[in-house]
Amino acid sequence: MRDVLAEEEFSNWFARFLPDPFARHLACLHTPADLSDRTDGRLAHLDGLNLSRALAGDIRPPGIGA
């Protein structure tokens, strides 16, 4: 949405979509998944999950580069 809406529109949309992103019941959204054993191939997908969460949580205003 950040890519298709103007900065003010995105800000308004996001405030309605997720009014309090750091609320206690949403802690799982910004807490990295614990990868207890990197040698377990079935758990290795958690690295991808953590990366995906980080990219999805990148909510910088439009026009701000990396």
Distances in Å between the alpha carbon of 15 and those of 39, 44, 49, 52? Answer: 40, 34, 24, 21
Domain definitions of the chain by residue range: 7-56
pLDDT of 64 reads 55
Query: Amino acid letter at 7?
Result: E
Q: What is the model's pLDDT at position 56?
A: 76
Q: What is the pLDDT of residue 9?
A: 92
Cα gap 48→55, rounded to integer Å: 11
What tens digit of pLDDT does each residue of 22-61 get?
Answer: 788 887 777 888 888 878 888 878 888 888 888 877 655 5
Contacts of 43 (CB under 8 A, 6+ apart): 35, 36, 37
Average pLDDT over residues 12-26: 84
